[in-house]
Amino acid sequence: MNILMLTSEFAPATGGIGTYAREIAAAASHLGAQVTVIAPDYSEHTPDDDRAYPFRLHRFRGGLHSMRDLPSKIALARSSVRSADYDIIHAADWPFFIPLALSRRRTRARLLMTVHGTEINETQTSMKRLAIRTAGVFGPRTEVAANSRYTRELFRSRFAMEEHRVNAIPLGVSDFWFGSNRRRAEARQTHHLAPDRIVMVTVARLTRRKGHHLTLSALATLPDELRRRITWLVIGPEGEADYVREFRQMIADTDCDVRIMGTMSNEQIRDIYGASDFFCLTGLPESSGRVEGFGLVYLEAGAAGLPSIATNVGGVPDAVLADETGLLVEPDRDEIARVIAEIVEETDTRAILAAGAMAHARALSWERCAADTYGLSRPGRLESDIADLVATTAGASIPLAPVAP
């Protein structure tokens, strides 16, 4: 199978879409497909890094997408689709939807587009909908892959498209997160964490919609004896400056052990996972239309053996299975405080959820994601993965929360 992927995000830029493009391309290559990725260069010269990938990577001049880049992306797509006899052409994110649609007459390949969540709401202005309709973006030749059941239902609520052409294919977890890390005691000593501390960790950009302030408010309501047993490690880059200032002031005003760690490498994060007891990320719904399409970070923590506390927003319930891999609650301070107390005090519950989190992460591999997305076979492993996935998602339901138009 010969696959062409067009993506507007890729390494060295960080972010979920870049991770998706890199990992699914590598997984498809490992399954025997020939994969070519077209990605921006961010004005950086990275030939040695690019040659290390198991797929062909061609860079175009550009960075993070702007609407003024659309003409050049249209020209790029038109030339790229005719550069080889491709079986599948995959627009990995929305900036290449219109360019791919306008190039469809130049190829007989399957046309595949992946939706991640927020962009579905961002395309609802009259001008964007007109452009999508005029270009025939979701015409009869287009197949859509959604990164969660929530994202699939959100897409179908916004666009009239036959159900069989919109598939929910959860993301995967890199083998990296199952790898070995530093010994727990050594990692704790490095970060000055006493052996008897209960360590809660969050990995997310420090921004309002990630709900750090809600977690802190919940911690502050816990009984003194319980609260003083907990250390909260907050990892991730800073977002809105006013929110970061507000959050730091909240920390100063509370009697909670909260440590802002800043940006860390994946290797450092994996070591901290090994030193921690559970993961917590309490995202919030946003009136702006931004959504949490899936929640890959919960699975990465699960691969390291951490159960999660999460809020029931967007596609998070596909990543955190309620009472199986973590505790899933509404974005409410008192509810979050209740489940933090439960997971801290009930060690048996924590151990059971940790085992479930690791099993769920193993079931959601990138090879499984690539196989389901492209129709690739996985000799000797596909049936067992399907069985694992069915077992871990049985009975789960994903309500579609109201989203601002």
Q: Are residues 210 and 273 in the same domain?
A: yes
In this prediction, residue 122 has a pLDDT band, given cuts at 50, 70 and 90, of confident
Which of 278, 264, 276 lies closest to 357 in space, CA to CA? 278
Can you give the residue range of the structural domain that contains 313?
176-362
- Whole-number pLDDT of residue 380: 60
Q: Are residues 123 and 224 in the same domain?
A: no
pLDDT over 80 (residue 397): no
**Hey, what amino acid is at 404?**
A
- Going 23 to 169 to 31 to 109, the CA torsion angle's sign is negative
- Whole-number pLDDT of residue 338: 97
Which of 392, 211, 215 lies closest to 319 in space, CA to CA? 392
Instruction: Report, as an integer, the average pLDDT of 238-257.
Output: 95
Cis peptide before 405 (omega within 30 of 0): no
Weakest mean pLDDT among 76-85, 118-127, 195-204: 118-127
**Within a domain: residue 379?**
no
Q: Are residues 289 and 338 in the same domain?
A: yes
For the chain, the helix, strand and coil percentages under 3-state DSSP, each to the nearest 5: 45, 15, 35
Instruction: Report, as an integer, the average pLDDT of 249-261.
Output: 95
In this prediction, residue 54 has a pLDDT band, given cuts at 50, 70 and 90, of very high
The whole-angstrom separation of Cα 76 and Cα 178 is 38
- Going 177 to 306 to 208 to 230, the CA torsion angle's sign is negative
pLDDT over 60 (residue 400): no
Of 116, 135, 170, which residue sits at a domain end?
170
Q: Are residues 192 and 165 in the same domain?
A: no
pLDDT over 50 (residue 403): no
- Whole-number pLDDT of residue 48: 80
- Whole-number pLDDT of residue 395: 40
Q: Are residues 133 and 57 in the same domain?
A: yes
Distances (CA, A) of 164 to 71, 92, 233, 271, 350: 31, 19, 43, 42, 39
pLDDT over 70 (residue 131): yes
CATH of the domain at 303: 3.40.50.2000
Q: Are residues 165 and 38 in the same domain?
A: yes
Q: Are residues 254 and 280 in the same domain?
A: yes
Q: Are residues 330 and 198 in the same domain?
A: yes
pLDDT over 50 (residue 363): yes
- Whole-number pLDDT of residue 65: 84
Our count of domains for the chain comes to 2
Q: Are residues 182 and 247 in the same domain?
A: yes
- Whole-number pLDDT of residue 43: 86
In this prediction, residue 108 has a pLDDT band, given cuts at 50, 70 and 90, of very high
**pTM for this predicted structure:** 0.85
Q: Looking at per-residue confidence, does 15 or 221 come out higher?
A: 221
Instruction: Report, as an integer, the average pLDDT of 275-293.
Output: 87
Weakest mean pLDDT among 75-89, 311-325, 386-400: 386-400
pLDDT over 70 (residue 389): no
Q: Are residues 209 and 64 in the same domain?
A: no
- Going 184 to 189 to 195 to 198, the CA torsion angle's sign is negative
Task: Report yes or no: 205 and 281 within 8 Å, Cβ to Cβ.
Answer: no
- Whole-number pLDDT of residue 378: 83
User: Could you report the per-residue pLDDT of 200-243, keeping only the tens digit for each?
Assistant: 999 999 999 999 999 999 999 999 999 999 999 999 999 999 99
Instruction: Report, as an integer, the average pLDDT of 298-312.
Output: 96
Q: Looking at per-residue confidence, does 56 or 124 come out higher?
A: 56
| Average pLDDT value for the chain | 90
The whole-angstrom separation of Cα 285 and Cα 175 is 30
Of 137, 155, 170, which residue sits at a domain end?
170
Instruction: Determine what percent of the chain is predicted with pLDDT higher than 90.
Output: 80
pLDDT over 70 (residue 16): yes
Torsion of CA 341, 206, 396, 325, to 10 degrees: -50
- Whole-number pLDDT of residue 293: 82
pLDDT over 90 (residue 277): yes
Instruction: Report, as an integer, the average pLDDT of 270-282.
Output: 96
pLDDT over 80 (residue 384): no
Residue 174: left (phi > 0), alpha (psi -120 to 50), or beta?
beta
- Whole-number pLDDT of residue 391: 45
Beta-bridge mates of residue 308: 279, 326
